[in-house]
Structure 1
Amino acid sequence: MSSKSERNDRKSGKKQSFTGRISAPRERGEKPATQGFQGRADTPRPPRSGDRGRADADNFLWGRHPVLAALANPARRGTGRLLATPERATEIEDGKLAHGHKIETVDIQTLTRILPAGAVHQGLAFKVQPLEGVSLEDLAEPAEGVIVMLDQLTDPQNVGAIFRSALAFGARGIIVQDRHAPALAGALAKAAVGATERLPHARVTNLSRALERLADLGWRAVGLDGSGEQTLEQALDRQPTVLVMGSEGDGIRRLVAEHCDVLAKIPMPGGFESLNVSNAAAVALYEAARAQRS
């Protein structure tokens, strides 16, 4: 396994691989503006590269729910560039939803050009710095409830949907690997519908070591794996639980699985052998929440 420190969402005060196995680029900050060089007027402007487009996506939130959640997040106060169409600007002003942010009114065509192709912005965009995250200890203490750990999930839609489910089912937060997790912006934030602003996350260098630390703090790790000997219902109880989810292609990596206390599967009596990882996470989070209450 590749060795991947804990860097860490909001500033605090101070697998099921479901057939074989179930199934992230690091957050980037905004690039400084280019300083005063002017090229020849007749020099054609180079096209936007794929990397540039990805960097733009990493620094933008778009869509009504993600942007309003970010505006309400105390960690965002006084930062970012808020862009809105006239209709949305009026909505934000009338509802006192800007929370101190200045609104820059633009027409819908301009907003569409600024954002990555295909962004469903609903007339709102917010250019931001990435959320810092919390420390592993801040997320895990006191030891109670459920935490989700994502082992190299790279699809923004899946990760965003897992954030949404984790918030809905009362999880404490999400742990991702520093080098293999998508930025909590762009399409991911859109899929999360604001959950990335409300649910803490921790970034760690090495998931296996993070599981060792969590065990020291009183947590029990349950890995989702289609070949697990126990079902989720059998494996889950009221103990503080880390649900470990692997990528859809490769599932939980071997060393991460070896640091789990148990590997469990979702029984599928319907005869269909696989689930999308975000669907699997929703099922697992429901079962974990039920076990915590029992």
Structure 2
Amino acid sequence: MRKNEFRNNNMQERKHNSTGGKNLQAFKKRSRCENSKLNRNKNEIDQPPPLKRKVVKGRKKIASTSLYLYGVLPVEAALIHRRRKIDHLYLKKAADSSKRLRKIRLLGEQYGIPVSEVSVKKLEEMCPDALHQGVVISCESLPYSSFSDLPQTVEGKYNLIVALDQITDPHNLGAILRTCGFFKVSAVVVPQDHTSGLTAVVAKASAGVSEWFPVISVPNLARFIQQQKSNGFWVVGLVEDAVENVSELSQDRPIILVLGNEGKGIRPLSRRHCDWLVSIPGNPEVSSLNVSNAAAVVLFHLQNQHQIF
């Protein structure tokens, strides 16, 4: 009888220990899961939420509607011509020690734009790797012009239009705009795609000319050129391999000057619509000029030889 009781007690004790062990293992497993969940929640709190990228529909070249414009000349031109909405003007501390910055401050205050003095470090954070010259504005993107915005000649025609066939470098675009503004070109026309937008870099490279100079965007550059030919324009393409050089230009009618991409030049379809292909003579050891320099050479020649401006 005692042997049976002892055996039963041992069996119950082993069963109890076995059940307790399983419960302990379940408790440890549950604790590990809860700790893992707590750690995961903690990491989610510590990490910033992912940035949401703005999806831009359509075919507009400028995706962002807000940007920082920097530099004395671009900011001054933006304040004077007011073709874009300006949200805030930032000046370096002690800006009144500079005559140009003092003028910019007065322009901002005149138009009711909020003005703040900030450290140079803050300006550098706003415009990294940029020559801001102690002044930055937050503003909207610059809109393109339309043909209705253009001034006309006495005869009702535009004297000269420069068509840029896929100029993608913003520094080149800015330099060309500055040159066109200097030589009183009527307008610059760019294709809607595969070209630099009117960015802050363009504004800086153009020395602020982009803030007032007419830049027109068209869906199809070749079609635009073809249409303007029927309106009486003579289309001149500047290419490296042309037999005739720019000094032979002798047309007195309105001209469209076509300048090509930095690497590929004028596209075949645009080239076929040109009435005349010309090149710039020079040292054969150097194949070509930068497109902005080439624009300056041709425009200088047209101004001096034909007085079409």
Pairwise same-fold verdict (TM > 0.5): yes
Q: Does 2:80 correspond to 1:80?
A: no
**Matched residues in 2 for 1:266 and 1:83: separation?**
44
Shift of 1:89: 6.2
| Structure 1 unaligned spans of 5+ | 1-38
Which residue is equivalent to 2:144?
A: 133
Q: Does 2:73 match 1:65? A: yes
Pair 1:282 & 2:289 matched: no
Does structure 1 conserve the Cα–Cα contact (< 8 Å) formed by 2:65 and 2:141?
no
**Contact 2:95/2:134 (CA < 8 Å) preserved in 1?**
yes
How high is the TM-score relative to the length of structure 1? 0.76
- Specify which structure has the bigger relative contact order, considering alpha-carbon pairs within 8 angstroms and separated by 6 or more residues: 1
Equivalence for 2:123: 111
Deviation of 1:284 after TM superposition, in Å, equals 1.2
- Match of 2:107, SS state, is coil
What is the RMSD of the two structures over their aligned residues, measured on CA atoms? 2.9
Q: 1:34 aligns to what? A: none
Report the 3-state secondary structure (helix = DSSP H, G, I; strand = E; otherwise coil) of the residue aligned with 1:147. strand
What pairs with 1:253-292 in structure 2 (closer than 5 Å)?
Answer: 253-269=267-283, 271-292=285-306
Unmatched segments (≥5 aa) in structure 2: 1-42, 56-61
Which protein is bigger by CA-based radius of gyration? 2
Contact 2:144 2:217 in 1 (8 A): yes
Tell me how far 1:132 sits from its aligned partner.
Answer: 1.8
State yes or no: 1:160 paired with 2:170: no
Q: Which residue of 2 aligns with 1:225?
A: 239
Pair 1:42 & 2:53 matched: no
* Contact 2:166-2:195 at 8 Å conserved across structures: yes
Between the aligned residues of both structures, percent identity stands at 33
Which structure: greater helix fraction? 2
* Residue 97 (1) aligns with residue 107 (2): yes
Residues 164 and 191, structure 2, Cα contact 8 Å, conserved in 1: yes
Query: Residue 290 and residue 238 in structure 1: after superposition, are their counterparts in 2 closer, same or farther (change >3 A)?
Result: farther
Q: How far did residue 60 of structure 1 move?
A: 2.3
Letter in 2 for 1:42: D
How many residues of Structure 1 are paired with residues of Structure 2 in the alignment? Answer: 251
Which residue, out of 157, 175, 178, partners 1:143? 157
Partner amino acid, structure 2, of 1:264: V
Tell me, in whole angstroms, the C-alpha distance in 2 between the residues paired with 1:174 and 1:94.
30
Report the alpha carbon displacement of residue 198 of structure 1 after superposing the two structures with TM. Answer: 2.1
Q: 1:260 to 1:137 in 2, by over 3 A?
A: farther
What residue identity is the alignment partner of 1:83? Answer: Y
Task: Tell me if the contact between 1:140 and 1:217 (Cα under 8 Å) persists in the aligned partners.
Answer: no
Q: Which residue of 2 aligns with 1:3?
A: none
Q: 1:168 to 1:69 in 2, by over 3 A?
A: same
Letter matched to residue 246 of structure 1: G
Q: TM-score, with normalisation over the residues of structure 2? A: 0.72
SS in 2 for 1:126: strand
